[in-house]
Structure 1
Amino acid sequence: MSYPVEQIANIINASATLRVPATIRYLLTDTRQIIEAETSLFFALGNHPVRNGHQFIATAYKSGIKNFVVTNTFNTANYPKANFLKVKNTLLALQQLAAFHRSQFNYPVIGITGSNGKTIVKEWLYQLLQKDWNIIRSPRSYNSQIGVPLSIWHMGSQHQLGIFEAGISLPGEMQHLQTIIVPTIGILTSVGDAHNEGFSSLQEKIQEKLLLFQQVACLIYCVDDLPKGITLPEVPQFSWGNDEHATLQIQQFTYHTKKTEIRFVYNRNEGTLVVPFSDKASVHNVLTCLCSLLYLKLAIPVIQERILQLHPIDMRMQLKKGIQDCTIINDSYSNDIDSLAIALDYLQQQAAGSKTTVILSDFLESGLPAENLYHKVVHLLRQKNINRCIAIGANSMSNKAILKQAAEETYFFIDTAQFLNEWFRFSFQSEFILLKGARKYAFEQIAALLEQQVHETILEVNLSALAHNLRAYQQLLNPTTKTMAMVKAFGYGSGSVEVAKVLQFYGTDYLAVAYIDEGVTLRKAGIALPIMVMNVEENGFNALIEHSLEPEIFSFQLYHRFHRFLLEQGIEKFPVHIKVDTGMHRLGFEVSEAVQLAQQLVSNNTMWVKSVFSHLASAENPAQDFFTQAQHLQFLNFSDTLQNILNYKFIRHIANSAAIVRHSAMHHEMVRLGIGLYGVNSLNEQGVTLQTVAALKTTIAQI
């Protein structure tokens, strides 16, 4: 579905400057996700001085985008061939547009919220109902103030049912999402402590979540989950639990190794359900799905048959090392056009210019005519510059003429078995391979061929947890405070390139590595962020310059060596970072050396100070707070002296992971995230909720 840009201007009450005719099909908030530039509308989100969508308008314009939603203060003079819709708040404008689009459809919409299980329930409902309905659903966990409107935008007249998640972290957010989703059926999943930090109590958080269900025809929930004092909306309810008044009353759970038997009473009749899971979380989510299917009038024998076919949902795209120096991205738990677009974005992010191959199965029950569907697939693959496409399935074979245009090389197989018999024809070498297949095509067999052999002991790294930890710390900072992330020592064992790509994607401002070769590796992998090198050796100066790495200068000896090198190269004002020793006594200039250093920097003019920093010795220890404060005072004295003589401003950073939580006065212009980023909390107090990033897993040889 598309809208003339003039109509969108009216919908969002924008002051419009229209210079070129345009029809809008796609909404963008990220310039890295362009599908079709000429029909895209870019929303410049945020007023953060460091991470502000308006900063990327020039990039978007160069990429061919000609339609923008901006704030009233944005100057459009530099973009003469673009349309600008000016509003007070670009996020609200995005939500207004999505709400209008939602109002064009009358089919049922399921709205899901809760603390845990939202995405699992959504995906399982999709598995259970896709035979009966043409379903549109949130891709992955697009459940935020931005993700929900982007999900709703994909609703179309070909769909018969919508399933959308809604997630919140602060009071007042759910009302916005309710007006966008307008669910006709509401599901409240398990309620726990996730995102509690934004609310005064668990009760307040639950009441906020329940605002999603003000107008639903039915609210589905577990009565046992709700604490006392919760006021449910005055709508029809379908509850389950041990309570005798529950619509579906649970009588007994019998747990086995790989299944659970559930005895229940529904409509005064006793029944038994066998669930192919034995963990309590999965059983809880299946029961929520059961109630949903009963409400939709599916027969219990049909429900039982379909529930036995449920499979676990892998909540992360699996990124694994492959044969011949390849990287395998396995995203085969769902296969539809929306999830393909997201997977291709992730592939492009990880590949960073390396060769790419997509192995793709047929799309099942897409609701689109085959010709339209495969034209969309071709457009997505070409837009991401995929080098090789391997299509598997009868429908792909029937649409060869269209799919041949998808990549430089295209190959077709009638089924997975044929590919497995002939896969040796391909030379997979140093490339990124995306597996995107519907479950019936058993792409796990392809993954087993392409992935490196699993050793008895592996280090499993959860990049989603890394992103969570980064956001957890960022929430403690002022909007103007930058973040420097430490990826030294191979990312503390977590893989420096993979970690750096995630940090770059999520808006980290600076990276720090231990040695020059680590920085060179990141540059070769496509990392564009500024990188500080902490241990600089003279024989690496050339590589430092060649790869735009910024050295830490911690002594006059190192300063003079680097100055002579820059002088020989005819380089002026090369960016450097000055380290001062404030009491840790590891490396750094003495505080008393500030004047001498500043004078040499001014007279020699070969270096430009990007930042001044120091290390705190005991920021996590309340008993050492007096010493920590003394370190901070010395740091300020050194910085002030240096800045007064240099006569320009630079970044100051002294706060490590612990100080971010415990010493907000030390945040200054930037903070450094080290071991805390990887999930290690050195604090005994409740300052920040971290997730484990790395886990060692091994095979038990003998018991």
Structure 2
Amino acid sequence: MQIDQLYDIYKAFPKVTTDTRNIAADSIFFALKGANFNGNAFADQALAAGAKYVVIDEAQYGKGDHYIVVEDVLSTLQNLAKYHRSHLNIPVIGVTGTNGKTTTKELLYAVLSQQYKTYSTQGNLNNHIGVPLTLLSIDNSYEVAIVEMGANHVGEIALLSNIARPTHGLITNVGKAHLEGFGSFAGVKQAKGELYDFLQENSGVLFLQSDNTELLEMANARTFNKIVRYGFSDQNNVIGKLLHANPYLSISWKIKDTTPIYEVSTSLTGAYNIENFLAAIAVGLHFKVGPIPINRGIEEYVPKNNRSQITKTAKNTIIADFYNANASSMSAALDNMKVLDADRKVVILGDMFEMGEDAYVEHKKIIALAKSLRLDRLIFVGEEFYAQRESGGEYYRTTEEAKSAISTISDSFVLLKASRGMAFEKLLEQL
């Protein structure tokens, strides 16, 4: 079946899924394969659950007119999304970066949705499967789309950009994460820079934190149709300043060469998030959203999914920031503890995953940084940290082992930071 023929079917039945647990009536099920499953084997189940068509790439599973046989289901899903994108005459903002891309995506949505019907990536659908599903969820009633793009190896952002074809884009930052896949920090910059490459080649608009030396260097190596700059120095189009971070952020901002200064209070903690706010402000202004609705969108935004999220229990106040972790986000979280005004501070850190050959060195750096802070308790959890246990902290091999040790913590401001695989939600229960 040709892609235009499949597109006609999609237009008649525009709900798409890859999971038989989430079948909607009259949807199209794409039978993807994984290391431990074969979606083709679930084709009958998908139809029984209400799917109108199933797309398969093993002909023996096809038993009638509601089975669409293609050469490869994944590439067909991606090509259909790309074809659909070519029929969407709206701006698409691509967002990637080592840290903060999901928070930035949500802030962009909070601001732009004040004025436009906006679609943004749902959950963590930001990879080679998620981005196509995101695009296929957008119809012509939307006026702007925000597409988050994640990667763990070189070439992936290029692939996703070719599918989503962003007209605008930004990289939040570049840091040491997924080093197993990227190979090195240079590999991280090369991979994230693939969004810059696409914007350069397609006359896109770049939003740039131009006080970030790595991003500025990457941008200066390319030529763009237009750059909107945000940051802290006077060279930027949007200039911001941190007012308070105890623990929620309050910021001020202004537009270059103008006198009004705007102030906004937020529900986010973490001084590092000010850059994400400024990105949303810069994007909002570019799309003609006024300062008052911009601030309203920021003030109404409430974080979730354990990203820079304040949780108050009967015993403690906790920064729940364990959706993910890497060397740069861990450092930023520790730096933020310096500016928090609290009588008792406790830091509980878990292993950072996918650090490759740099794991030992990067965990050692985090230990040194954490020990330089004035903390009431410092707790490290996980095999990587435990392997280099030393004086000046408490060390536990597993999250389960740490549970009883932290149950005595009370009347404290606690940072919980770890990679998702450490399951730190189990520690939250003890605090």
Alignment of 1:171-210 (within 5 A): 171-210=154-193
CA apart distance, 1:176: 1.8
1:148 counterpart (112, 131, 138): 131
| Whole-angstrom distance in 2 between the partners of 1:697 and 1:81 | 51
Consecutive unaligned residues in structure 2, runs of 5 or more:
327-381, 388-396, 403-418
| Whole-angstrom distance in 2 between the partners of 1:196 and 1:249 | 32
CA apart distance, 1:183: 1.2
Residues 292-338 of structure 1: per-residue CA shift (max 9 Å, x gap): 1222233435534543x233211269xxxxxxxxxxxxxxx9xxxxx
| Whole-angstrom distance in 2 between the partners of 1:679 and 1:270 | 56
Alignment of 1:131-530 (within 5 A): 131-213=114-196, 214=198, 215=202, 217-227=204-214, 230-231=218-219, 232-235=221-224, 236-242=226-232, 245-250=235-240, 252-255=241-244, 257=246, 258-262=248-252, 266-277=255-266, 279-307=270-298, 309-315=299-305, 456=315
Q: Which residue of 1 aligns with 2:28?
A: 41
CA apart distance, 1:131: 2.9
- Find out whether 1:695 has 2:419 as its counterpart: no
CA apart distance, 1:150: 0.6
What SS is found at the alignment partner of 1:168? coil
The alpha-carbon distance between structure 1 residues 104 and 268, as it changes in their structure 2 partners (threshold 3 A), is same
Q: Which residue of 2 aligns with 1:70?
A: 56
Contact 1:135 1:160 in 2 (8 A): yes
| Whole-angstrom distance in 2 between the partners of 1:171 and 1:204 | 7
TM-score normalized by the length of structure 2? 0.65
CA apart distance, 1:116: 1.9
| Whole-angstrom distance in 1 between the partners of 2:104 and 2:319 | 26
CA apart distance, 1:100: 0.6
Residues 267-295 of structure 1: per-residue CA shift (max 9 Å, x gap): 32355332314631332211111111222
CA apart distance, 1:163: 1.3
Q: Which residue of 1 aligns with 2:69?
A: 85
What SS is found at the alignment partner of 1:239? strand
What SS is found at the alignment partner of 1:178? helix
| Whole-angstrom distance in 1 between the partners of 2:75 and 2:274 | 38
Q: Letter of the aligned partner of 1:219 in structure 2?
A: L
CA apart distance, 1:173: 1.1
Alignment of 1:484-633 (within 5 A): none
Structure with higher RCO (Cα < 8 A, 6+ apart) = 2
CA apart distance, 1:200: 2.3
What SS is found at the alignment partner of 1:157? coil
CA apart distance, 1:457: 7.6
| Whole-angstrom distance in 2 between the partners of 1:696 and 1:293 | 36
Q: Which residue of 2 aligns with 1:118?
A: 101
Contact 1:457 1:696 in 2 (8 A): no
Q: Letter of the aligned partner of 2:258 in structure 1?
A: N
CA apart distance, 1:246: 3.3
TM-score normalized by the length of structure 1? 0.42
The alpha-carbon distance between structure 1 residues 86 and 198, as it changes in their structure 2 partners (threshold 3 A), is same
The alpha-carbon distance between structure 1 residues 696 and 122, as it changes in their structure 2 partners (threshold 3 A), is closer
The alpha-carbon distance between structure 1 residues 256 and 22, as it changes in their structure 2 partners (threshold 3 A), is closer
Q: Letter of the aligned partner of 1:294 in structure 2?
A: L
What SS is found at the alignment partner of 1:96? helix
- Identity among equivalent positions (%) equals 25
The alpha-carbon distance between structure 1 residues 461 and 121, as it changes in their structure 2 partners (threshold 3 A), is closer
The alpha-carbon distance between structure 1 residues 132 and 224, as it changes in their structure 2 partners (threshold 3 A), is same
Larger radius of gyration: 1
| Whole-angstrom distance in 2 between the partners of 1:690 and 1:244 | 41
What SS is found at the alignment partner of 1:255? strand
Aligned residues: 334
| Whole-angstrom distance in 2 between the partners of 1:90 and 1:10 | 15
Contact 1:459 1:695 in 2 (8 A): no
Q: Which runs of 4+ in 1 moved over 4 A?
A: 6-12, 453-466, 675-680, 696-699
| Whole-angstrom distance in 2 between the partners of 1:161 and 1:458 | 37
| Whole-angstrom distance in 2 between the partners of 1:44 and 1:677 | 36
CA apart distance, 1:211: 2.1
Q: Letter of the aligned partner of 2:286 in structure 1?
A: Y
CA apart distance, 1:76: 3.2
| Whole-angstrom distance in 1 between the partners of 2:135 and 2:170 | 17
| Whole-angstrom distance in 1 between the partners of 2:313 and 2:231 | 42
CA apart distance, 1:159: 1.2
Contact 2:40 2:61 in 1 (8 A): no
The alpha-carbon distance between structure 1 residues 223 and 141, as it changes in their structure 2 partners (threshold 3 A), is same
| Whole-angstrom distance in 2 between the partners of 1:202 and 1:91 | 29
